[in-house]
Structure 1
Amino acid sequence: MTEYALYKGDELLKIGTVDELAEYKGVKRETILFYTSPTYTKRTTEKNGLRAVKLD
């Protein structure tokens, strides 16, 4: 299973699967995947936006 780390700025919020992170934030799984996209990165600042990073 692929895991992701969810960050807000430099703060690690949670590590888990897309479904676990979606449940944690109360959003759809597609939203968590959107947090990994270059488009989302361009639309938000690192300080105010959430970031999901795929873990190897």
Structure 2
Amino acid sequence: MKQYTVYKGEKLLAMGTSYQCAQQMGVTAKYIVWLTMPTAKRRLAKRKNPDKATVCDVID
């Protein structure tokens, strides 16, 4: 099972499976998985303040 870490800037918001992270943040598990997709990464790069964006990484 994949493990995820979710950050907003330097602050760690959640860590665990997509379901666990979603429960901690009050969002869906699909949203956590979507944050790891290339589309989300491209949108992050286009933001004016990417340091204030929510970012998710997969832990191997």
TM-score by length of 1: 0.80
Q: Percent identity among equivalent residues? A: 32
After superposition, the CA RMSD in angstroms is 1.4
**Can you give the 5+ residue segments of structure 2 that lack an aligned partner in the other structure?**
none
Instruction: Report the Cα offset of residue 48 of structure 1.
Output: 2.4
Gaps of 5+ in 1: none
Residue-pair matches, total: 56
Larger deviation, residues 16-25 vs 38-47: 38-47
Q: What amino acid sits opposite 1:52 in the alignment?
A: C
Residue 55 (1) aligns with residue 59 (2): yes
Give 1:8 shift. 0.8
Q: TM-score normalised to the size of structure 2?
A: 0.76
